Amino acid sequence: MINRIIVCFIIAVVAVTATEARQIAKGSTRFGKQEMSRMIKYRVARSERTVSGPPTLVAYISINSRHFNREDIVFLARQLKQDFAKEPRLTVLIFSDYNAAKSLVFSVEQPSTYERDKAALRGGYNLDRVAGTESVSFSADATRPHDEIRIDLKD
């Protein structure tokens, strides 16, 4: 009985090691220790699924304003791709203010905070694993359009 347990354990260790080796060979999306230390902190204010068209998870997140630069936004996109790895389609609206991310609603009736909340929308990330597309857009300056800078992230 103990021999079977040991054999099963060895097989499991070999299988995990082989899987990790394949991921490294493919260019794994896992983060190393150095990258883990510079992870962009974000807060999910809310999320919802689309009801028309292809099912898509839409997340409203906020980050610190200092991260609205090319390097950090691309890193955040990579991080979101990993954090939502099981989602076939993902749209993320990126805000500089958590309360704005929580309260902004795109509808006919606009709440009194609509303009302020909309101004805090500084970027977006779109990932469609089915179609094979991935892009991010943002504005480094809060007074500019939130899609001022667009980056196609697919090879």
What confidence score (pLDDT) does residue 37 get?
56
What confidence score (pLDDT) does residue 142 get?
87
Q: Can you give the residue ranges of every domain in the chain?
A: 1-30, 32-152
What confidence score (pLDDT) does residue 4 get?
46
- Is pLDDT larger for residue 23 or for residue 145? 145
Tens of pLDDT along 91-146?
999 999 999 999 988 777 777 788 889 999 999 999 999 999 999 999 999 889 88
pLDDT band at residue 31, thresholds of 50, 70 and 90?
Answer: low
- Is pLDDT larger for residue 60 or for residue 6? 60
Tens of pLDDT along 45-97?
999 999 998 999 999 999 999 999 999 999 999 999 999 999 999 999 999 99
Q: How far apart are CA 94 and CA 79, in angstroms?
A: 13
Site of tokens 């480094």: 140
Torsion angle (degrees, nearest 10) of CA 73, 79, 82, 87: -50
pLDDT band at residue 30, thresholds of 50, 70 and 90?
Answer: low
3-class secondary-structure state, position 97? coil
